[in-house]
């Protein structure tokens, strides 16, 4: 079935304006840019949002520069996304002109009376021009930089890092502009790093400084597979190795932003967890539509996610209060049947808010530790004695990272991860969020619910193994019994004699009936 379409040879904005209120689709095929027949969608109003140019966030006066209020983590994510875009778009017809901060647009979403800019969804505006097949840009002999788009990517990253606008040369000749801007950018980078070396809030991170220098100097590393940057493959390899990779490494190691499937997480129809899996907050509907608004709207005051009390980290938009839905929670295990009860949505919201704050605090500590060259501390070892663990493939990518989870089945001795009720899995994920650097051991000691007759001996053996073989620092047992058990009691005494901390469920029925093993 053929698709009805028409070739676009001029301003895309005209086509968007003609189709206001409709879904507008474009297609690139057979070296042409096609406009497809618009589609009418229900509830189209809910899909509209606004966008803001990056240069409106970067000002010459630091006191009014909104980008300075973003956390180091937010800045790194934005820089990584732009660098990764350059990797896919250059060299190519989409990035023949050097980018400027005025060409980079950020999605803004209105939540309540405020707006915030999403650094995970930058857009780059380009001008479509017809060109001859195989046409190459010719570099002037006096131009020091072979690839101006990479040079000016570095200048944009510098603007993000410093929070100040870079005044570009207005010389008529490209080679003069490149030479003057490159020299001034490197000077500004050196000066900024020198002045703010002891200021953790203004300091440029090592990876970002490395990426900016790579853009400005275009120096090949010693082990680079090519001796020049002439072929498309070697250019993209340089962007990947020297610009994208340092940013990705610091995001993962210093800020716990997982990038294995980062780009997939930003595609259409992904749920909230698919973004949060990589350390990214949920966003507005995607893809966005352009909404024309008055720039001098008095109610549209600049908003900084870093100033949000509940949102000091990578949180790119205000935390959305969860929509009420029918969900249930399970009590901690005890020896009597509990009924599931509805979740208090306010508590869910508060817990989610605290976990976001905690994650960001850990990331900041890690970033400062790396910047100060402080060696990694010894990892804490934690044993979870529970219903087991069973992670989906996506959750394995997120939670079974270094150090990997260690598992043992005390029920039937099987090696395959199992969890019939999900309680142990929930605990393991929660501990991974709270203490991502900890070594987690999971012991499957019961299938659905612990009991004295079936589970106590297995639990006692698991406690002894955790102390003597795994040499853990802490044991977590989120269950209890209504009576004492000698073997389990002896195992717990053995653990405490070895200075192992033990956390167990005190009771599900208040202070009047404490459970064993607590």
- Tens digits of per-residue pLDDT, 405-449? 999 999 988 888 999 888 999 999 889 888 888 999 999 999 888
**Does pLDDT of 323 surpass 50?**
no
pLDDT of residue 186: 96
Task: Note whether 399 and 480 are same-domain residues.
Answer: yes
Task: Note whether 33 and 60 are same-domain residues.
Answer: no
pLDDT of residue 183: 97
What pLDDT digit, counting tens, does each position of 56-65 carry? Answer: 888 766 666 7
Task: Note whether 105 and 226 are same-domain residues.
Answer: yes
Task: Establish if 53 belongs to a structural domain.
Answer: yes
DSSP 88-110: HHSSSGGGSSPP-TTTEEEEEEE
Task: Note whether 119 and 229 are same-domain residues.
Answer: yes
Task: Note whether 429 and 496 are same-domain residues.
Answer: yes
Task: Establish if 114 belongs to a structural domain.
Answer: yes
Of 75, 72, 71, nearest in space to 308 by CA? 71
Q: How does residue 460 score in pLDDT terms, banded at 50, 70 and 90? A: very high
158 in Cβ contact with 183 (< 8 Å): no
Task: Establish if 349 belongs to a structural domain.
Answer: no
**The dihedral formed by the CA atoms of 364, 365, 367 and 373, expressed in degrees to the nearest 10:** 160
Residue after which a domain boundary falls, among 227, 248, 276: 276
| CA distances, 215 to each of 150, 288, 467, 511 (Å) | 5, 30, 52, 63
26 in Cβ contact with 33 (< 8 Å): yes
What pLDDT digit, counting tens, does each position of 219-252 carry? Answer: 998 888 888 888 888 899 999 999 999 998 888 8
pLDDT of residue 307: 31
Task: Establish if 490 belongs to a structural domain.
Answer: yes
Beta pairing partners, 383: 441, 475
**Does pLDDT of 325 surpass 50?**
no
Task: Note whether 26 and 59 are same-domain residues.
Answer: no
Range with lowest mean pLDDT among 58-67, 114-123, 290-299, 476-485: 290-299
pLDDT of residue 130: 56
pLDDT of residue 358: 85
Output the average pLDDT for the chain. Answer: 74
- Highest mean pLDDT among 63-67, 150-154, 303-307 belongs to 150-154
Task: Establish if 100 belongs to a structural domain.
Answer: yes
Task: Establish if 209 belongs to a structural domain.
Answer: yes
Residue ranges of E strands in 45-189: 48-53, 104-111, 114-124
Task: Note whether 47 and 8 are same-domain residues.
Answer: no
Whole-angstrom Cα distance, residue 308 to residue 415? 45
Q: How does residue 474 score in pLDDT terms, banded at 50, 70 and 90? A: very high
> How many domains in the chain?
3
Task: Establish if 233 belongs to a structural domain.
Answer: yes
- Highest mean pLDDT among 270-274, 309-313, 323-327, 444-448 belongs to 444-448
Of 215, 235, 224, nearest in space to 137 by CA? 235
CATH number for position 46 = 1.10.510
Task: Note whether 48 and 64 are same-domain residues.
Answer: yes
Of 498, 444, 409, 495, nearest in space to 517 by CA? 495
Phi, psi dihedral angles at 409 (to 5 degrees): -100, 115
Task: Note whether 490 and 399 are same-domain residues.
Answer: yes
66 in Cβ contact with 119 (< 8 Å): no
Flag whether the pTM goes above 0.75: no
Whole-angstrom Cα distance, residue 409 to residue 251? 35
> Buried b vs exposed e over 355-390: b needs ≥16 C-beta within 10 Å?
ebbebbebbbebbeebbeeeeeeeeebbbbbbbbbb
Task: Note whether 221 and 271 are same-domain residues.
Answer: yes
Task: Note whether 36 and 46 are same-domain residues.
Answer: no
- What's the whole-number mean pLDDT along residues 482-500? 88
**Residue 262 three-state SS:** helix
DSSP 395-453: HHHHHS-SSPPEEEESSS---S---SSSHHHHHHHHHHHH-TTSEEEEEE--SSS--HH
Residue after which a domain boundary falls, among 276, 301, 334: 276
Task: Establish if 337 belongs to a structural domain.
Answer: no
Task: Note whether 105 and 52 are same-domain residues.
Answer: yes
What pLDDT digit, counting tens, does each position of 342-398 carry? Answer: 566 777 778 878 888 887 788 778 777 777 888 878 899 999 999 999 887 767 776
> Buried b vs exposed e over 504-514: b needs ≥16 C-beta within 10 Å?
bbeebeeeeee
**The dihedral formed by the CA atoms of 89, 270, 108 and 60, expressed in degrees to the nearest 10:** -50
Domain that holds residue 267: 42-128+149-167+201-276
pLDDT of residue 25: 83
pLDDT of residue 333: 42
Residue after which a domain boundary falls, among 219, 252, 276: 276
- What's the whole-number mean pLDDT along residues 451-456? 81
Of 418, 408, 417, nearest in space to 465 by CA? 408
pLDDT of residue 244: 93
What pLDDT digit, counting tens, does each position of 74-122 carry? Answer: 888 889 989 988 988 888 776 778 889 888 888 765 444 434 456 666 7
CATH number for position 382 = 3.40.50.200
pLDDT of residue 351: 83
Whole-angstrom Cα distance, residue 289 to residue 123? 12
| CA distances, 406 to each of 134, 139, 185, 401, 501 (Å) | 55, 57, 49, 11, 19
489 vs 136, residue with greater confidence? 489
**Does pLDDT of 326 surpass 50?**
no
């Amino acid at each position: 079935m053929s698709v009805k379409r028409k070739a676009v040879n001029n301003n895309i904005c005209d086509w968007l304006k003609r189709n206001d209120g409709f879904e507008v689709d474009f297609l690139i095929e057979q070296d042409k840019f096609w406009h497809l027949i618009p589609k009418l969608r229900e509830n189209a109003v809910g899909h509209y949002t606004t966008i803001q140019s990056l240069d409106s966030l970067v000002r010459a006066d630091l006191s009014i520069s909104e980008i300075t209020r973003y956390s180091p983590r937010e800045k790194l994510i934005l820089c990584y996304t732009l660098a990764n875009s350059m990797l896919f778009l250059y060299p190519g017809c989409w990035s023949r002109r050097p980018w400027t901060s005025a060409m980079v647009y950020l999605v803004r979403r209105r939540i309540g009376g405020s707006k915030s800019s999403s650094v995970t969804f930058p857009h780059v505006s380009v001008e479509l021009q017809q060109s001859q097949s195989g046409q190459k840009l010719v570099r002037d002999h006096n131009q020091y930089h072979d690839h101006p788009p990479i040079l000016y990517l570095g200048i944009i990253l510098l603007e993000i890092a410093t929070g100040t606008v870079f005044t570009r040369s207005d010389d008529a000749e490209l080679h003069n502009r490149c030479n003057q801007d490159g020299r001034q950018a490197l000077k500004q980078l050196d000066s900024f790093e020198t002045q703010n070396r002891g200021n953790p809030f203004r300091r440029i991170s090592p990876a970002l400084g490395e990426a900016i220098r790579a853009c400005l100097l275009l120096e090949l590393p010693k082990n680079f597979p090519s001796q020049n940057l002439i072929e498309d493959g070697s250019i993209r390899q340089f962007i990947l190795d020297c610009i994208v990779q340092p940013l990705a490494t610091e995001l993962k190691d210093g800020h716990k932003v997982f990038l294995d499937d980062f780009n997939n997480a930003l595609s259409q129809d992904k749920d909230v967890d698919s973004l949060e899996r990589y350390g990214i907050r949920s966003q507005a509907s995607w893809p966005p539509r352009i909404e024309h608004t008055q720039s001098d709207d008095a109610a549209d005051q600049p908003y900084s996610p870093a100033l949000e009390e509940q949102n000091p980290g990578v949180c790119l938009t205000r935390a959305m209060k969860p929509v009420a839905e029918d969900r249930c929670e399970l009590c901690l295990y005890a020896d009597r049947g509990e009924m599931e009860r509805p979740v208090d949505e306010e508590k869910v919201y508060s817990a989610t808010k605290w976990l976001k704050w905690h994650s960001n605090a850990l990331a900041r500590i890690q970033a400062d530790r790396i910047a100060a060259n402080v060696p990694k501390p010894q990892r804490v070892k934690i044993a979870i004695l529970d219903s087991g663990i069973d992670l989906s493939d996506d959750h394995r990518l997120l939670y079974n990272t270094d150090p990997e989870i260690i598992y043992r089945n005390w029920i039937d001795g099987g090696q395959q991860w199992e969890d019939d009720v999900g309680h142990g899995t929930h605990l393991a994920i929660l501990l991974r969020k709270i203490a991502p650097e900890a070594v987690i051991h999971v012991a499957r000691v019961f299938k659905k619910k612990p009991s004295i007759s079936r589970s106590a001996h297995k639990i006692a053996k698991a406690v002894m193994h955790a102390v003597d073989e795994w040499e853990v620092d802490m044991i977590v047992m989120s269950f209890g019994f209504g009576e004492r058990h000698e073997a389990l009691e002896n195992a717990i005494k053995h653990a405490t004699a070895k200075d192992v901390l033990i956390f167990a469920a005190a009771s599900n029925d208040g202070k009047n009936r404490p459970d064993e093993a607590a």
